[in-house]
Structure 1
Amino acid sequence: MKPTTRRTLAAVITGVAAAVGAAATPAAAAGSVPVPVPLDGVSKSLGMEVPKLGLEVPLLTPGAPDGPRYVTGRLLPDRTLPQMPVTGALPGAHLQAPLPHLLGDGFDHAGFDAHASDLRTLAPGLAVDAPLTAPNPNNFGLPDPKLPELGVLAPALRTVPVADLGTGPGL
């Protein structure tokens, strides 16, 4: 292969890699990936306007769990199985459907936009304690028996979904 051909091939590969990297970076930073639904073929085959549809698929990111916490008087740590946080987004949707001037001359489409909303979750956790107390100096250093403890840490879900519904000119 000639050096000119190698340089040209390297330049093309570098340009493609830069374009793919530039396109992937905003999607990863936003927490969701936009997915357009191609309906142009249906529009051309039927000879009429069809709705425009786009979706946003969330990217889930696991976080670092809070470690076990040691508590005075217990043999086992407070959160034996810690809760795992997961962040991401709710799926979004964008839809524009044509209207045949039902609402007057200025309204040509109805639109629905549900943007991808931030989502924060915590998986359920487990808190367990042994059926023995810590060593008791009054009992020659032996632990005292007690009832075992078992607790489930409830999962959590935090989000604020937002959606817009409206009409307007053009499609």
Structure 2
Amino acid sequence: MGIVVTCLASAAMATPAAAAAAPVAPVDVPLHGLGTVLPTDTPTLRTGVPIPVPGAPMGLTGHGEGKVQPLMLPQLPVTTGVPETLVSAPLPDVVEGQTGRAEVAAPASDVQATTPGAVLGSPLTLPRPESLGLPGVELPQAGFLSPTVTGALDSTLGLAQPQS
């Protein structure tokens, strides 16, 4: 039974081969103060702080056929990574009378997002030959570009037996 639980925990804790390449500042949360309150070993929490990386503005060269180039608040792409997170807590007498550990892990993954944007058309049209080359007047068109977020999050739960 103990070998099966250990194998399952090892498989659950294995990180994917294509881990997130986004920059992350590692953080070990100090929980040692809980040792005075808890009758067992202190839990551990390892994670990181994602560092967002902005990209180049999107859509600055958009134009409509037969229209003046619209004024635009461009969308800004942002890439970041959700860091690998590991929470581990001791569980006494779980497997064959030894102290085991409960572990919850979330592997690292990439997240891409874009900020909202806006488009405002010009109230003038391109020059017209019937008006001797003068631009025409029209109602400006306005629109909003929605923000987006894409990514994949996953988590695993397992029990681990202490290494001897």
TM-score range, shorter chain: 0.7 to 0.9
Q: TM-score, normalised by structure 2?
A: 0.73
Task: Work out whether 1:116 is the aligned partner of 2:116.
Answer: no
Aligned-partner residue type, residue 131 of structure 1: P
Provide, for residues 8-31 of structure 1, a one-character-per-residue CA deviation record: whole Å limited to 9, x for no partner: xxxxxxxxxxxxxxxxxxxxx642
Provide, for residues 20-54 of structure 1, a one-character-per-residue CA deviation record: whole Å limited to 9, x for no partner: xxxxxxxxx64212111223454367663111111
Contact 2:42 2:90 in 1 (8 A): yes
The equivalent residue for 2:6 is none
Residue 129 of structure 2, aligned match among 130, 137, 140? 137
More relative contact order, 1 or 2 (CA 8 Å, 6+ apart) = 2
Runs of 4+ in 1 over 3 A off after TM superposition: 44-47
The structure with the greater share of residues assigned to helix is: 1
Residue 66 of structure 2, aligned match among 62, 73, 95? 73
Aligned-partner residue type, residue 60 of structure 1: P
Aligned-partner residue type, residue 55 of structure 2: G
Residue 94 of structure 1, aligned match among 71, 82, 86? 86
Aligned length: 141
Aligned-partner residue type, residue 114 of structure 1: A
The structure with the greater share of residues assigned to strand is: 2
Structure 2 CA distance for aligned equivalents of residues 156 and 135 of structure 1: 37
Q: TM-score, normalised by structure 1?
A: 0.71
Between the two proteins, what is the percent identity of the paired residues?
37
The alpha-carbon deviation at position 154 of structure 1 amounts to 0.9
Larger radius of gyration: 1
Task: Work out whether 1:153 is the aligned partner of 2:136.
Answer: no
Secondary structure of 1:43 counterpart: helix
Which residues of structure 2 form unaligned runs of 5+? 1-20
